[in-house]
Every structure is written in C-alpha cells, then in structure tokens.
C-alpha cells in the first residue's frame, strides 16, 4: 500500500491532538473519514490514545460529551460526511450551553464536489453555526496542510482563544476536514509526544463584600466551588441536586419553600450564581427580580441574565469581614424544619425478641411490611442517592425523577452529572457511558449510575450497544418505568388538553419489554418492585452493565 496525502494529514492531525493533551477519540464508521479513523485506531493500539467506536453518530457525540464532562479535557468525535455530521448537532448544542470542551472532526468532500449533487455531500462548513467556539474549513491535503489545527482547536475548546468566543468558557469546536481520494494509504512513521492535559484559561475573580443579604445558588455543573463560596461568605447555599454542590454546613433543605417565604426569600438582596439553574420556578423568579443584585459566574455559551441586570463574573472571591450571623441563622433554622427523612425505621429488636406473642407478631409484621414496601419515586431516588459514594458517579436524566430528587434528597458530596445545558432527554445513556469509561480508565473503583425515566431511556436505547472488543464499564442504568411521559401531567398542557389527546401526543404510552432490550444488547436485567430488592441490586458486586427496571405508577 502506498501513502496518500489524506492519510499523512490525518495521522499528523491525530498526533498533534495527542501532543495538545487529547486522550480520547470516538469514531463512527464511514468511507470519507477512513483516514482519520485508521490513524486514531493505529495510535490507540500503540497506547497513545483511547479509541471508542460507536455506529450511531448521535450516540458517538454524546459519548464524547460524557468523556469530556468527566475529564475536563476535550474528547474528539470523528464522523464521515453528509447526514452523519448533522447527528452531532444535539451533542454540540449541549456542550455549548453547558460549557463542555468538545472537538468535532467531520470528514468532507473536496470543494469541487460541493454544491454539484455529489453523493453524501452537503453544506458542512458553518453547519453548527453559533454553537461552536471555532469553525475551520481545512484545506484539502496536498493543497495545504493541517498543521496548527489541533493547537487552535484545543485552545478554543478550553476557552483560551478570546478571538473565538467567551474567554475562559469552554465549548465545542468544529474542524471540517475535506480529502480527495485515495483516502487510505500506508500510515507514516510519526514521533508521538503525549502533551499535558490542557487547562481552562485563568480568570480574574470578582471580589464580593459581605454587606448585602446574600444567598449562593448552585445550578448544574456548579461543582464544589459553590459550596466553598457559601462557606467563605457564611451565606445560605441553594444547591440543585445536579450541581455537584449539595453538601456542606450551609446547605439549605427544602429551598423552594424557603425562597417562597417573604421573611427569607423576600429579603434577599444579592444572589451569587454558579452553574446553570433549571429545576425550580422559585429560583427562576428570584433571578428575574429587578431588585436583586445577581452576580453570575459564567459557565456556558450564553450569559445568565434573566433580570437583564445580571453582572457576569469569570470567578468570585469573598472579601474579609464579619459574617451576618442573624441572616444565616434564620435560614439554617428554617432549613432544619424542611429536612426530609426517607430512611426506614430501625427494627423493633425488643418486640422481635419478646415472649409476648402479640408484641412479637406486630414486630414481625412491621418488618415484613418494610421489606415488601413498594417503591415510589421518592424511595427510588433516595435508594440511588444512598448507594452512591465519592468514588462513584451519578448521572441524572432530564426526566420527572430529577425534580423529585431535587425536592427530597439531603446533602452528600458525590460527583454528579446531568445534561442540563438545554435539559433535553437526548443522549443520556451515551453521556453516562462516556463518564463511566473516563472515570474508570485508570483502574479507579466505583460504579456509574444513571437515573432516568422510560422515555429518556428509549430515546437513547442505541447507546446500549457497546463493541465487544472494548472494556465493559461498570454501569447501572436505572429506569423508572411508568409507561410514558408522566412529567407532562404536571405541566400546563395537562390542564387544557383533552385527556385522550394528552395521552397520545404527550404521555405517549408504550408497552416496551425492557428485559428483551437488555437481552438483545447483552445487558444484565433486574426488575425490582421493593426498596429492599433495589438496595440489594444497587450494592451487589457487579463487573459490568446492569439495566435496573423499576415499575412506577403514573
């Protein structure tokens, strides 16, 4: 086999990506992208890279998104030309709004085959529009080279390129890579150097004084920094369940009720926001108030500015000074009254050991009732939360269950992920798979659990297909199956639509046998109906993929 300009350019580009800190490439098969795919697999076989293959480009895009979410380093996704490129748009949009670095490497026809009706040729340059930090339509190898593309792409994805987007804000980058035939050839000998992981661009903090009555709001992707700011300022912490900041001594339980209390929420003068809050109307109303000074630490591609007066900040520090203990104390007292305990009561050991038949009978009956207690949504989210620890990962789908979890779960410092940039149900299982693969890549312990509803699961069922030659991640997909989209029952459409029309167009009932899907894709399946059984499945040693189905009432 002889060399080809396409192969030489592709191999050099992948090597340059490695030199700029990229460690993961997700590949979807296709003819036009063959030089990129073969170069990535070759360098992966040499140990320079981790290559992951997914036949569906939408699954591939969200898998790369999950890898990038967990590592903070842009993963690259490679696809062929035509409709394959369009299938990356949902993941690109989520990465843009969530501030997740991502590299989209799309193969293309050369310029002479564009706009003339050539097979699998469409208008790829600019296809992702404003959803990418940088878009480059590369020259055809032989007409020009691809040197410098990798460095520019990684820098822009990490927010270091101020000329192409928001400085310090990560996001997706699109490299459109046209080639002429021959598309395959002998791979050139390359000296591959593994560069350090790229860092997000540093940001100058805004220093806040302690004066105004302040609360800290942590939305999706806020991370531990929100808890640190609340602790430093002695300010109440309102942390969504998807924030990764729901822990610490300043955490407020039942925050919806507290924000609705005029003596607390009504007296707020300043809000410090980290991440993207999306789970409650009470927080949205607070951030929309013109009489509140909102300081938002920017995370994604759009600035948070619901009241049109919000101050953007790259980061926040707290000035020295005395805290407002009365302000914090009032919130702490109200929070304590809102705490919810979903744990089972301790066994009645005295009753179980009693020589009195009636007392022993009642104690045994109570124990049997606890064992047989059917699962509700509240008990489901509580069981998953309790089973998850700092070495695990927890991924929430955009289903009804995430709102239940946000309303009832207490504080706990665990790594949490969710695609809340646009709060779509797209790609939840694929994203969780990427997170699992990345978090377990170096042999680290832990299980990745993804909690989602049945429609979000079915929307991404293709992500269950994993190649037999790749390491199987420890992954538990927990599906709350209520037979349709019950989240619509709580929205305004339920009050205005005819019930039959609501069911058909929104609830979308189904009769899918999830255990058969699990069998077809090679997953271990469990159908559990009680809290005791769920606890056992969640905590039992598992070395692979488990699909846990929990039937729930509408």
Residue with the bigger pLDDT between 1 and 439: it is 439
Number of domains comprising the chain: 3
Q: Is the pLDDT of residue 125 over 70?
A: yes
Last residue of a domain, one of 134, 159, 178: 178
What pLDDT is attached to residue 184?
85
What pLDDT is attached to residue 193?
92
Mean pLDDT of 525-551: 92
User: Are 397 and 540 found together in one domain?
Assistant: yes
Q: Is residue 213 part of a domain?
A: yes
Q: What are 392's strand-pairing partners?
A: none
User: Are 12 and 149 found together in one domain?
Assistant: yes
The CATH number for 97's domain is 3.40.50.970
What pLDDT is attached to residue 350?
67
What pLDDT is attached to residue 203?
73
Query: pLDDT digit string (tens) for 216-252?
Result: 999 999 999 999 999 999 999 999 999 999 999 999 9
Q: Is residue 195 part of a domain?
A: no
Residue with the bigger pLDDT between 187 and 157: it is 157
Q: Is residue 347 part of a domain?
A: no
Q: Is residue 252 part of a domain?
A: yes
Question: Among all chains, which residue has been given the structure tokens 């036009």?
Answer: 32
**pTM for the whole thing?**
0.93
What's the per-residue H, E or C state across 489-539? HHCCHHHHCCHHHHHHHHHCCCCCCHHHHHHHHCCEEEECCEHHHHHHHHH
Element (H or E) spanning 12, and its range? helix 5-19
User: Are 217 and 166 found together in one domain?
Assistant: no
What pLDDT is attached to residue 131?
96
Q: Is the pLDDT of residue 518 over 60?
A: yes
What pLDDT is attached to residue 347?
59
User: Are 214 and 300 found together in one domain?
Assistant: yes
Q: Is residue 31 part of a domain?
A: yes
Q: Is residue 185 part of a domain?
A: no
User: Are 403 and 327 found together in one domain?
Assistant: no
Classify residue 246 by burial, with Cβ atoms within 10 Å: 0-12, 13-18, 19+. Answer: buried
Q: Is the pLDDT of residue 126 over 90?
A: yes
User: Are 9 and 127 found together in one domain?
Assistant: yes
Least confident of 30-39, 75-84, 250-259, 368-377: 368-377
Full DSSP string of 40-73: HHHHHHTTS-EEEE-SSHHHHHHHHHHHHHHHSS
Q: Is the pLDDT of residue 47 over 70?
A: yes
What pLDDT is attached to residue 346?
53
Query: pLDDT digit string (tens) for 336-348?
Result: 999 888 766 555 6
What pLDDT is attached to residue 27?
98
Query: pLDDT digit string (tens) for 352-368?
Result: 667 776 766 665 566 56
- Residue 504: which pLDDT band, with cuts at 50, 70 and 90? confident
The CATH number for 264's domain is 3.40.50.1220
User: Are 412 and 283 found together in one domain?
Assistant: no
What pLDDT is attached to residue 355?
72
Its domain, for residue 298, covers: 206-338
Residue with the bigger pLDDT between 253 and 200: it is 253
What pLDDT is attached to residue 2?
76
- Beta strands, E only, 397-487: 416-418, 448-453, 475-481
The Cα–Cα gap between 123 and 174 comes to: 14
Query: pLDDT digit string (tens) for 147-180?
Result: 999 999 999 999 986 555 577 899 999 999 999 9
Full DSSP string of 339-403: ----PPPPP-HHHHH-S-HHHHHHHHHHHHHHHTPBP-HHHHHHHHHHH--TTSEEEE-SSHHHH
Mean pLDDT of 76-81: 98
What pLDDT is attached to residue 117?
86
What pLDDT is attached to residue 341?
80
User: Are 412 and 545 found together in one domain?
Assistant: yes
* Helix, strand, coil in percent for the chain, rounding step 5: 40, 15, 45
Q: Is the pLDDT of residue 484 over 90?
A: no
- Residue 200: which pLDDT band, with cuts at 50, 70 and 90? confident
Q: Is residue 317 part of a domain?
A: yes
User: Are 101 and 249 found together in one domain?
Assistant: no
What pLDDT is attached to residue 345?
59
What's the per-residue H, E or C state across 411-429? CCCCCEEECCCCCCCCCHH
Indicate the average pLDDT of the chain: 92
Query: pLDDT digit string (tens) for 128-152?
Result: 999 999 999 999 999 999 999 999 9
Query: pLDDT digit string (tens) for 278-300?
Result: 999 999 999 999 999 999 998 88
CA 416 to chain centroid: 8
Q: Is residue 367 part of a domain?
A: no
CA 394 to chain centroid: 9
User: Are 395 and 503 found together in one domain?
Assistant: yes
User: Are 404 and 303 found together in one domain?
Assistant: no
User: Are 224 and 287 found together in one domain?
Assistant: yes
The pair of three-digit structure tokens given for residue 227, joined into one six-digit string: 């808890």
Mean pLDDT of 455-472: 95
Last residue of a domain, one of 288, 311, 338: 338
Last residue of a domain, one of 311, 338, 365: 338
């Amino acid at each position: 086999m002889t060399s080809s300009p396409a192969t030489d350019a592709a191999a050099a580009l992948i090597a340059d990506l490695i030199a700029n800190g990229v460690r993961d490439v997700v590949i979807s098969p296709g003819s036009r992208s063959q030089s990129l795919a073969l170069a990535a697999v070759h360098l992966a076989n040499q140990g320079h890279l981790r290559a992951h293959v997914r036949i569906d480009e939408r699954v591939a895009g969200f898998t790369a998104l999950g890898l990038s979410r967990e590592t903070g380093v842009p993963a690259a996704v490679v696809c062929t030309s035509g409709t394959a490129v369009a299938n990356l748009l949902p993941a690109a949009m989520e990465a843009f709004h969530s501030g997740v670095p991502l590299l989209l490497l799309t193969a293309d026809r050369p310029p002479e085959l564009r706009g003339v009706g050539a097979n699998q040729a469409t208008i790829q340059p600019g296809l992702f529009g404003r959803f990418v930090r940088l878009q480059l339509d590369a020259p055809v190898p032989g007409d020009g080279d691809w040197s410098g593309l990798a460095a520019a792409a990684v820098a822009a994805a990490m927010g270091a390129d101020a000329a192409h987007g928001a400085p310090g804000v990560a996001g997706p980058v699109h490299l459109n890579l046209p080639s002429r035939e021959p598309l395959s050839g002998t791979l050139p000998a390359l000296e591959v150097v593994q560069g350090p992981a790229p860092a997000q661009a540093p940001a100058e903090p805004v220093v806040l004084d302690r004066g105004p009555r302040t609360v800290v709001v942590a939305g999706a992707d806020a991370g531990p920094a929100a808890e640190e700011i609340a602790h430093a300022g002695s300010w109440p912490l309102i942390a969504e369940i998807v924030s990764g900041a729901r822990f610490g001594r300043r955490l407020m339980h039942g925050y919806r009720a507290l924000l609705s209390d005029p003596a607390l929420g009504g007296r707020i003068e300043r809000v410090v926001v980290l991440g993207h809050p999306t789970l409650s109307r009470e927080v949205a109303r607070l951030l929309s108030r013109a009489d509140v000074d909102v300081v938002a630490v920017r995370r994604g591609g759009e600035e948070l500015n619901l009241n049109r007066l919000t101050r953007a900040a790259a980061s926040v520090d707290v000035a020295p000074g005395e805290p407002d203990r009365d302000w914090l104390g009032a919130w702490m007292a109200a929070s304590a009254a809102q705490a919810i305990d979903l744990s089972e009561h301790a066994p009645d050991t005295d009753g179980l050991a009693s020589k009195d038949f009636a007392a022993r009978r009642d104690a045994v009956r109570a124990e049997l009732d606890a064992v047989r207690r059917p699962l509700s949504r509240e008990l489901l989210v509580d069981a998953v939360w309790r089973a998850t620890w700092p070495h695990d990962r927890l991924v929430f789908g955009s289903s009804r269950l995430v709102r239940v979890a946000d309303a009832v779960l207490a504080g706990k410092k665990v790594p949490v992920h969710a695609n809340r940039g646009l709060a779509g149900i797209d790609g939840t299982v694929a994203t969780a798979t990427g997170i699992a693969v990345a978090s377990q890549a170096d042999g680290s312990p832990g299980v990745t659990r993804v909690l989602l509803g049945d429609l979000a699961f079915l929307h991404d069922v293709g992500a269950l297909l994993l190649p037999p030659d790749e390491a199987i991640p420890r992954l538990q997909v927990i599906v709350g199956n209520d037979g349709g989209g019950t989240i619509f029952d709580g929205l305004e459409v339920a009050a205005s639509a005819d019930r039959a029309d609501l069911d058909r167009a929104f609830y979308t009932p189904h009769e899918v046998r999830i255990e058969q899907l699990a069998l077809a894709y090679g997953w271990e399946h469990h159908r559990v109906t009680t809290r005791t059984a769920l606890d056992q499945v969640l905590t039992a040693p598992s070395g692979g993929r488990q699909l846990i189905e929990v039937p729930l009432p509408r």
